[in-house]
Structure 1
Amino acid sequence: MDKNNFYIRIFNKEDQLDVQKMVVNGLTYTAKDRTDNVKNGIAAYLERSIKEDLGNIYEHYFPTGIFFVAISGTNIVGCLGAQKEGTSTFRLKRLSVKMHYRNQGIARELLNNVEIWSRERKVTKLILGTSEVQKDALRFWQKSGFQVIESEVVESGIEVFSLIKNLDFNFNDG
């Protein structure tokens, strides 16, 4: 795929099943070489997620939050959402990029769109959670200016991380 052969737009209700399938497949794939305990932990997490926000993205992200999708041709190839979690804090959720489209700047562009949207609303902090199972995601978040503020090992034996990024509002005109 050509590096710039995608664009970002706001999620609409017709995207629901494609986004849900992409997120589930992506997270399931990251756990494929892990222990049964980890696979079961991921499966339980996905089941909870579908009951929470992933099963009805529009209802859970709008109107106070945002959810972007990346499109290549007619296919959804990436996504990232932000949910309000305080006066000036938003929680990033559901970063996913289809396997064949990774390392082409899609995640970076999704995050750029969320950061622009957030700054326009005077958001000062972005927070998120990820796990050791998602090594590439953890690396991406850290390269993008997020800092680990907490980590713990959950019941399934997976280490999970809480990250934060403070948004600055110093824009240069030139």
Structure 2
Amino acid sequence: MKLLQRIAYLNVGIYPFTSIFLIVYCFLPALSSSQVNSSSRASMLLFLTYLLIITLTLCMRAVLEIKWSGIALEDWWRNEQFWLIGGTSAHLAAVIQGLLKVVAGIEISLTLTSKSRGDDADDEFADLYIIKWSSLMIPPITIMITNLIAIAVGFSRHYIARHRSGAD
């Protein structure tokens, strides 16, 4: 095989394992907000500064990618959403399934279902708008709920700390 073919196969083989890092990344805000106390505020500020720099860098890369490829911002955003959902659900399930097969010899079967057409048969993405329950939705929903709870706890802690300092 040529070098680019090897790199392509390596990418396809390793790509699902990025879901582990994506899951950790998605839970970092909730974890960091629950660990904040007065002694770790300086390290938290440094962490948030690095996170802001990385996020701005990724946004600039995305803008350049959009301009270079000529796709619409809406199409790019849809692709990012599906990447995040797939990375926290289907790719994670594939890694778990592969590990179960290699380590324990357990094989999980996959059942294909037929696609139903939505109300708009002219829309090529009509099947994507139909929401059906699947166990693959559990990790993304768990991430959303955990982060929403962390935001509420963070705001309440901030409000309580501010209220106490104003009362003294």
TM-score by length of 2: 0.24
More helix by share: 2
TM-score by length of 1: 0.23
Q: Which has the larger radius of gyration?
A: 2
Bigger relative contact order (CA 8 A; separation at least 6): 2
